[in-house]
Structures are given as C-alpha cells and as structure tokens.
Amino acid sequence: MSESSAEPAAGPAGAPAPAPPPPPREAVRARLSVCLVFAVMGSTMGGWSARIPEVRREVGLGEAAWGLATTASVVGDFIALAVVTVLVGRVSLRLLSLAGAALILLNAPLMGSASATPVLLAALATWGFAANLLSTPMNAQAAEVERRYGRPLLSTFHACFSFGMLGGGVLGTLAAATGVTPGTQMAVNSAVFGALLVVAGRWLPEEADRPKEEKGRLADRLRRRLTPQLALLAAIAFLDSFAEGAAGQWSAIYAADFLGTGEAVAAAIYTGLTAAAAFTRLVGDRLTGRLGHRSLLRLSLLTTAAGMGIALVWPHPVVALIGFAVFGVGSACVLPTVFALAGRQPGLSSGEGVSVAVIGQWPGLLLAGPLVGLLAGAWDLRTALLTLVVAVLAAALLSGRVRQ
C-alpha cells in the first residue's frame, strides 16, 4: 500500500476536517465521576476555610494556639502518604478514591461542629489523612481518563477542584450571613455530594491493564519508582507547591500589613489570585494541546515568577492585585501538567507515577507558611516573598530537562 492510499480520504477542497468520533459512554462517565471527587475535596476545603473564624471562637483558641492546633492535620497527611505509597499499584484506585472521598464527607460536619480542642484535633488529623488518601488516586484516575480520551484533560479536573473551593466558600459565606452553623452547613454539603458519589462512584475508572507488579521486598518495589524523570517532576512539584502555598497564605497578609490596605482589599487580592487560577485551568487543556506539556510547564513557571515579581516590585495595592492575579494565571497549570507527565511514565502505573509527584508536592505545602514567616521575622515580608520568585525560577530551569 502506498503512503497516499494510507491517508484518510480528503473531503472537498476547503472543507473542514471531519470531527473526531465522540468518546465512548464509559469514558464520559469516568470523566464525570473524577470531576466529582475533585469537587468533593474543593467544596469541603472552601466551606471549611470560610467558617474557620467561627470555629476558632467556639473552641476558644487564640491565634498562637490555633496555629499549633492546625498542625494536627500534618499527622494525618504523613500517615496517608505512607499508606498510599505502599498500596498504590497493589490496591484498586477506585477503592482508594472512594475511601478518601467518603471519609472527607463524613468528617466535614465533625470539623464544622467542633467545640472542644480534642474534637478539633481529631477532625483535623482525619482531614489530613482523608485528603492525602484521595489526592494520589484521583490524580491517577484523571490521568487514566486523559489516556482514554487521547487528549489533555488534567487542567479541567483541577478546575473542578478550584470552582468547588470557590463554591464552598460562597456557601459558607451565605450560611454565615443567614445564621446557619458551620456544622449544619458542612453536613448539608456532605449530604449533597455524598448522594452524587453514591450514584457516580461506580463509574470511577481503574488503571489500564498492565502486568502485575513483581512480588518482593517493599523497598525493591518502591525503588522502581525512583527514576530520574520522576525525581525531576517531584522537585518541580515541591518548588511550585512551596510558591503556591506561600502565596495563598501570605498574599492577603502582605496587602493588609505591609501595604496597609483594608481587610476588603486584602481579601480581594487573595480572591483575585484564586479566581485567576480557576479560570485559567478551564483553558489549560487547550494550551497543552497546542504547546505540549514541557513548553506549557516552562511558560507557566516563568509567568508565575513574573507575577510575583510584579506584586513585589512596587508596594501599591493595585500593583499587588495585578501581580498576584498574574501569579494565579501562571501557577494554574503547573501541577496538572506535572501530574499528567508523572502518570504516563513507562513501566509504571499512573498511580505509582503520581504518588512520587504527590510526595514531592506535600513538603512544599507544609514548609511554605512557616518558612516565609520565619524569613519575614528576620527581614520583612516583602523580602521573604522574594524566595517564591527564586523557587519558581529554579523550577523553570528544571523544566528544561523534562521529557515530553
């Protein structure tokens, strides 16, 4: 057969190319179900964040004591990371994902109704465990759905998380304005998403068929994942998560304390950052299709660094608003791209690859707030935030070694 005969038949001159066939129903259902679990995590986080001041007053903790109490979630984070690292590739992704989502929904009313320190600590530790139990399988399932569709989809899934978080925050604001208690608000949110999960949970995808992982010592099985490419992606995830976590925690404080704005302007700067990231994720998959993963990753990181540089170059509220919004645009597609690449490493399942990227991401989020706070105490907050520019530029430099 000649090359010309192997090409698909061309239509009339100037006619548009035929549309690709629609994805099978199973792939569509899988996509909807994975979107749901991303929204579960986002809505719970957003709803909780909106009611933190009331819960803190109910428990009766001051600022220092509250900050110490929130570290309870780190215990749950660490345990979940260890559990998932061992189980992924050996246990059903659907089972891990359903367990994490269900635990998040069951625990949310407990967090919202906490009125004593022991209850709060238990709820926060459970939240940390459940969120990290869900993080790896849901991103691995997103990579699996992307494989079935044959086109980029990771940014859309992360947009579901972002808009879920925004929706949860709006629900929390309305509930607070109408006198609904945090516990009741979180229970209603859990009931709605729990009902949806009962319907759609069975559609959550499993990984593509692959040879079973060879038996042997745990250390040997984990060592297979320590490839240079995954180590590189984990490092990029760490640096980007450090910058994102610090910007999320300190952007409003920078505006209120360093720039001297009111609380409303400070809140608007944080909201602008999160909204810019959410809307950018809606077009992230299209950008990936046009630019490729590596080019988009480098462009996103350079834009992130530029945004933070703009916010810091001139201490003015309008400049800060623009800078943090640009930061949100740049950072929006970094982690989705890293997870997409981690989930398609040769010789590993999507869950195994994603688990390494998540392990890199976690300490970045953990260290972001305390480290910037320590540096701000030693110098000032504006200077401390320059470390975010350095971290993101380092990640951009590393991105040049990422394989497409």
- Regions of the chain with pLDDT less than 70: 1-20, 63, 209-221
DSSP tag of 332? T
Count of C-beta atoms within a 10 Å radius of residue 312: 20
Alpha helices in 150-262 (DSSP H): 154-177, 182-200, 218-223, 228-253
Closest among 339, 240, 319, 330 to 276, alpha carbons compared:
330
pTM of the model: 0.87
Task: Give the amino acid at 54.
Answer: E
The pLDDT of residue 220 is 67
pLDDT digits (tens, 9 = 90+) for 128-173: 999 999 999 999 999 999 999 999 999 999 999 999 988 998 898 8
Closest among 66, 48, 49 to 57, alpha carbons compared:
66
The pLDDT of residue 6 is 37
pLDDT digits (tens, 9 = 90+) for 5-58: 333 444 444 455 556 678 888 999 999 999 999 999 999 998 998 888 888 889
Cα 125 to Cα 95, 103, 317: the distances in Å are 21, 12, 36
DSSP tag of 203? G
Q: How many helices (H) and strands (E) does the chain have?
A: 16, 0
Domains of the chain: 24-207 (1.20.1250.20), 219-404 (1.20.1250.20)
Burial class (CB in 10 A: 0-12, 13-18, 19+), 116: exposed
The pLDDT of residue 52 is 84
Q: What angle do CA 275, 363, 350 make, to 5 degrees?
A: 80
Tokens of 48: 């909780």
